[in-house]
Chain A
Amino acid sequence: MTSDAPRPAPSPAVEVADLTIRYGDHVAVDGLSFTAERGQITALLGPNGAGKTSTVETLEGYRRATSGAVRVLGLDPWSHHAELVGRIGVMLQSGGVYSGIRPAEVVRLFASYYADPADPDELLARVGLSDRRRSTWRSMSGGEQQRLSLALALVGRPQVAFLDEPTAGIDPAGRQLIRRIVADLRDEGVAVLLTTHDLDEAEKLADRVVIIDHGHLLADASPSELMASSHGDELHFGAPGGLDGAALGAHLSASVTEESPGEYRVAAAPTPATVAALTAWLAEHDLPLADLRAGRQSLEDVFLRLTRSAAEADAALAAERASEAGSRRRRQSRRARRGSAR
């Protein structure tokens, strides 16, 4: 290394540029670009099969991009794997630990891999496993295993932490603990990239949310930007299913749709007057109000809207392809019939 060379401007901790990953004919990730910064929690959200794990595993150096570029701390994780592994922390979705090993043993073992590791005892206390010294991995609960995996991701004092569904299948207390540790990591300046299905978690924890589906980027913004964006002139409420939407709509002078059973959307600015009119109508009909959200959508609303419209676009494309294939088949079978007649 040449120390007198001019240092390049600090680049983002994680850079994904036009990443494409193919497995045979299947395209798992298709032209994806985003970045994750130091001192921020970036949540990668998407339905099952969206390409989250493929993306993260490429960043961790497990697989090679089919095309496009990824950089972690300015390095290519595939060709600079050896340089990078000491500076990143990885938490796999499941497994990853010897089934007969005890927490303190495995934390000490992993500590021996790194030049300047965290103190194993402190780390065990931090993840709340100081009292499980004698249990082996296979005898631990799912939540304890997740916390131990997190400890192993942190033992090398990483600059970038990749956490694949860190709170999946964990009880509420364990989830709180993991969220607190992740928030502390951000405050210490670590770049945290986590994948999750838990939208509530992303909403509470993430500084930045990257939503992907079918390998495409659907959104990249802060949770509050996403929740406030575009569809702000709406009022959402929960009430018994099957309300007379037309009558209520007439009363409010706005269209009312039942988006899912018992969940309604009013296409009107959420002014106090509209809210008052809504609650008055409900009171008149002696109907309970389950919840009421004005202006802001929850991240779940945003997520479902984005992934649903992506799915609809895909379905339309598939239908188009199917009809093309159908007409090709018809042409082929006509030809085949002509052939057999000869």
Chain B
Amino acid sequence: MRAFAAQTRTELVLSLRNGEQLLVSIVIPLLLLVFFSLVDVLPLPEGVSDGVDFLTPGVLALAVMSSAMVSLGIGTGFERQYKVLKRLGATPLGRGRWVGAKIAMVLALIAIQVVVLVVAAFALSWAPGGTPALVPVAVLLGTAAFAGLGLLMAGTLRGTLTLALANGLYLVLLLLGGMIIPFSEMPSWLATLGELTPAGALSTVMQSCLRDGAPAAGTAWAVLAVWAVALPAAAIRLFRWE
């Protein structure tokens, strides 16, 4: 327990000490939420009058993606490249406690992001609806899917390649995933493609959890659940420690 607690604390301190990661995981989602809530330039889905009501669920989905995929993936990728994982393999820490500490670190980062974003959203007069009780389930499934994707990259590619790919995917999924631009504004083939990504599934689910009148999310829950199983399974299978 002592080792697990120390490991989790270290993981969290190191990721918060890392300026770029902080930028991606807290500043960018916050900036998007505040800017586009105040400046009416983005299209909104039908029946939404206040931008913040649409943006908040999307930006919370983005926060999950940035912590679980980008921060975790890039951090772990470099730890692997610099042989930290190899070195830990020769200590009594063990794989189980290491994975546990990584999960705890990601969940703690997401909790910090959620608090910051929700406070900002209420300050922008957000009026949540939907079924908020399901938000923790959605966040956990999204975390599993994106952490799986982040670790899949970290465990198979060089650190620098993971860095580039995770940041590139972050941007593509931000645009395609319906997080700040509604699917209703996209050509139908692009919207379908976007809805099948883990980002699209998570943002659709978050909309239904937090906004009255959001489209039904039955399919999106199923898509998200499939990613939440498939991506960690692929990471477990393909992850190489050295």
Q: Which residues of A contact B (CB under 8 A)?
A: 60-62, 82, 85-86, 88, 90, 92, 94-101, 105-106, 108-110, 112-114, 152, 156
Contacts and interface: CB of A to CB of B under 8 A. Distances in A.
B84 A95 contact: yes
B84 A105 contact: no
Contacts of B78: 99
Nearest to B18: A100
Interface residues of B, number: 24
B3 A112 contact: yes
Contacts of B87: 90, 92, 95-97, 152
Contact of A90 (B2, B18, B90): B90
A97 B81 CA distance: 11
A60 B90 contact: yes
Contacts of B89: 61-62
B92 A114 contact: yes
B208 interface: no
A88 B14 CA distance: 27
Contacts of B5: 112
A211 B230 CA distance: 49
A164 to B, nearest CB: 11
A90 B90 CA distance: 7
Interface string B7-31: 1001001100110000000000000
B82 A97 contact: yes
29 contacts: A60-B90, A61-B90, A62-B89, A82-B92, A85-B91, A86-B92, A92-B87, A95-B83, A96-B82, A96-B83, A96-B86, A96-B87, A98-B10, A98-B14, A99-B78, A100-B17, A100-B18, A105-B13, A106-B10, A108-B6, A110-B91, A112-B2, A112-B3, A112-B5, A113-B3, A113-B91, A113-B92, A152-B87, A156-B92
A108 B3 CA distance: 10
Nearest to A85: B92
A62 B18 contact: no
B43 interface: no
B79 interface: yes
B94 interface: yes
A106 B9 CA distance: 12
Nearest to B83: A95
B93 interface: yes
Contact of A100 (B6, B14, B91, B93): B14
B80 to A, nearest CB: 10
A109 B18 contact: no
A169 to B, nearest CB: 16
Contacts of B82: 95-99
